[in-house]
Amino acid sequence: MQACPECGDQVQIGQSARLNEIVDCAGCRSELEIVALDPVVLALAPEVEEDWGE
């Protein structure tokens, strides 16, 4: 379990978690990227803005 950097909620990290995997925080719905393993470090994933206009 890791603390969400956004809201501090506990986020479950699976044993098979991989670097750069995106996990969702159940507390704030943020997308968190695993930026380091052993120990696991979570960072807010950059928001991908869908740009449909052109």
Integer angstrom CA distances of residue 5 from 8, 12, 33, 52: 6, 13, 10, 30
Q: CA 48, CA 29: separation in Å to the nearest integer?
A: 14
Q: Which stretch binds Zn ion (CB under 5 A): 4-12, 15-23, 39-47?
A: 4-12
Residues 12-51: x where in contact with Zn ion by CB under 5 A, - otherwise, as a string:
-------------x-xx-x---------------------
Residue 36 CA, distance from chain mean position: 11
Q: Does 7 bind Zn ion (CB under 5 A)?
A: yes
Specify the residue, 26 or 36, whose C-beta has the smaller distance to Zn ion: 26
